[in-house]
Amino acid sequence: MCICAGSGGVGKTTTAAAIAAGMAAEGSKVAVLTIDPAKRLADSLGLPELGNTERQVDPSLFDEAGVESGGGELWAMMLDPKATFDEVVRRHAPDEETRERILSNRIYQQLSSALAGSQEYMAMEKLFEIWAEDRYDLLVLDTPPSRNALDFLDAPRRLTQFIEGRALQVFLRPTGFATKLIGGGTSMAFSVLKRITGIDLLQDLSEFFQAFSGMVGGFQERAKRVNELLADDQTTFLVVCGPQGEPISEAVYFHRKLVEAELPFGGVIVNKVHYDLDEEFPADVGSLSAALEAELGDRDLAERVAANFADYSTLAQRDRRNVRRLANEMRTRAVIEVPYLDDDVHDLAGLAEINRYLFASGASERERIAAGR
Amino acid sequence: MRDLLDKRLVIVTGKGGVGKSTVALALGVAAAERGKRAIVCEVAAQEGLSRVFHRAEVGFHEVEMADNLWAISIDPDESMREYVLLQLKVKAMRDLLFRSRIFNYLAAATPGLRELVTIGKIWELAQPNRKVRGARGYDLVVVDAPATGHGVGFLQTPRTFASIARVGPIRAQAETLDAYLTDHRRTGVAIVALPEEMPVNETATLERALTDEVGTSVDRVYLNGLYPERFAPDDVPKLERGASSEEPGVRPACRAALSQSRRAAGQREQLTRLEELVSAPVRTLPFVFKPQLEIEEVRGLAAEVD
């Protein structure tokens, strides 16, 4: 199992899809799961839409893209967190009454997706479910888009903490919150609270929390198994990032957290890198411009080419510095750089192009770049 | 259509990594340069503003970054506290509440509440007569909103709460917030996109979700990071010849030029697609060839955002 993690906008979804397609092309049966509500994976695979169950990517698409399918299968699904949450409730509710109470509660219906960590937790839940069915050689998970890649690692803990939280017991004791609510309330704090929220909202909340209490046991057990799965040596975490300063810093931070949590780190993928096209390019634009003019016989064009190359080199130098910093701080050699391709990646052919870099060894990667893309 | 900078509240949204924070800041700078008192709000701890202005920290206070330009990082816990302070005038009652376990538990666990109080704080900043005692009003509040997906849910929070709480103060306040966000005269939305296939598709989806589901206006789409068109089609054969030259420097420079011309052309196709797919006017922002954006670059973009 392979989990792609990283902050937003670094090409995580595309990377996850590329790895899955690449492994399928090598003959494996692979499923890729994405959580993104923005339907990116469907775009990447040329699928009009993905449901909350896996769907096989049409093998003829591989042929059309000129990619050998190698006897493997590529399956994809887009997680629907709400539908998954409903399934979880159905599974863990101790009885039918509790189940109905939760599913019909208005707070649950409208806001369960806003529950801290619920989206991330549901991704884990679904991943665990598919993993337990054991129908695939490899599962690739694209993690939810979030400002903070760590939300994801934290999710099972936060959700169980929420459910088993000490303060929740306030609601659950016979003399607790609910009784006070119905009995008119003896607590001063409660009457103050009522003033700023309104009584019916408190009632819905109280019901919501109470109904959940019946599921504490099931949830804890499940979260424990999800955590074990994450730490399993058959799982690997790939950190995906971009070459700019901030994504690199976030990747370093995320790697540190993985190590602290004793989770299996597989490597880091840096997308959209501006490679150095030539280590020894002339340092000054003037002499390059002169050489270009001699070659191209067009002064105006030569100046534009030189100016463009100066801009490109600024970015290439920045990227090289940043990737070096990344490798140093992570103390790893497992850094794969994917170049900033001339064409946009949004179909299987594009994913195959990315895979030439993802699956290449360092040396052949360099060779290919040197040979010109 | 009224100008974006003449609104009181402008929400900047879009997919992750497209440069929302930069555009939000550029809008703030542009407003301040026109003599407006403007504030840029970060939501959910980021540090972009602190970095650009070389400040140690932009926290939950309004800090003046430059003439007329203020910044704040909106923390949900602080917003919650402030909300309670404004609701309960009697100190003893507030202390009672802050100490109570029920309150602390509800504040942390109620789904959506953090988003609601964050929007509440944004609304408070946009009021001509501020609720916070002694605080001055702003002419423009610019919000660097959460990314797509989360963004729609975030802006929908007040409406959701208004429908759940049938009566009571939360309902009234949620309705006020929703009415403010969907008031096209006062509140504007700008979506930031990149000139690539998927971000363009997502921008079109986001625009529909914002107009149909949330009910906000979408006033402008910024296509960020557009490459200049440096090379014409008839330069290409010459560049191809140069790309196979043996001359040091010439070959890589011509190869970089060929890449650039392909990308620039691909980006123009995406610009055309974007203009066809969205209803809001599209504005382009140039790619900045710098290792890192500093305040000068942001000022440069400020000249282009409006």
If residue A4 lies in a helix (H) or strand (E), which one and from where to where?
A: strand A2-5
* B205 at interface of A, judged by CB pairs closer than 8 A: yes
Pick the CATH number of B4-227+279-305 from 3.40.640.10, 3.40.1010.10, 3.30.1490.20, 3.40.50.300: 3.40.50.300
Q: Sheet containing A265-273: which strands, arranged edge to edge?
A: A55-56, A73-78, A29-34, A138-142, A2-5, A236-241, A265-273, A335-339
Whether pLDDT at A105 is above 50: yes
Rounded to a whole number of angstroms, the distance from the CA of B208 to the nearest CA of chain A is 12
Q: Do B109 and A162 touch (CB under 8 A)?
A: yes
pLDDT at res. B290: 86
Of A38, A246, A291, the CB nearest to B149: A38
Q: What is the pLDDT of residue B95?
A: 83
The Cα A59–Cα A57 span in angstroms is: 6
What chain B residue is nearest to A107 in terms of C-alpha separation?
B164
| Residue position matching structure tokens 């806001």 | A111
> What's the rounded mean pLDDT across residues A87-109?
85
Are B17 and A282 a contacting pair at CB < 8 A? no
Instruction: Look at residue B289 and give its three-state secondary structure.
Output: coil
pLDDT in tens, B144-185: 987 755 568 889 889 988 888 877 788 889 999 999 999 999
Using CA atoms, how far residue A165 sits from A121, B102, B301, in Å, is 17, 12, 48
Looking up tokens 């990082």 gives B73
Residue A178: is its pLDDT beyond 60? no
Q: Are B50 and B58 in contact (CB under 8 A)?
A: yes
Query: With 50 as the cut, is the pLDDT of residue A185 above it?
Result: no
Please tell me the distance from the alpha carbon of residue A292 to that of residue A294, in angstroms, as a whole number.
Answer: 5
DSSP string, B141-165: EEEEPPPTTHHHHHHHHHHHHHHH-
Domain ranges of chain A: 2-162+227-232+341-370
| Closest-CA distance of chain A to residue B220, Å | 20
pLDDT value of position B239: 93
- Could you give the ipTM of this predicted complex? 0.85
pLDDT at A184: 46
Is B87 within 8 Å of A306 when comparing Cβ atoms?
no
CB-CB under 8 Å, A201 with B165: yes
Interchain pair A311, B289: CB under 8 A: yes
Q: Dig out the tokens for B42 from the structure.
A: 């970060």
What single DSSP character describes residue A171? H
* B86 three-state secondary structure: helix
Which residues of chain B are modeled with pLDDT < 70? 1-2, 44-58, 148-151
**B163 reaches A (C-beta below 8 A):** yes
Mean pLDDT, chain A, integer = 78
Residues 6 or more apart from B161 whose CB is under 8 A from it? Answer: B112, B116, B170, B171, B174
Phi-psi region of A150 (alpha: psi -120 to 50; beta: other; left: phi over 0): alpha
Whole-prediction pTM value? 0.88
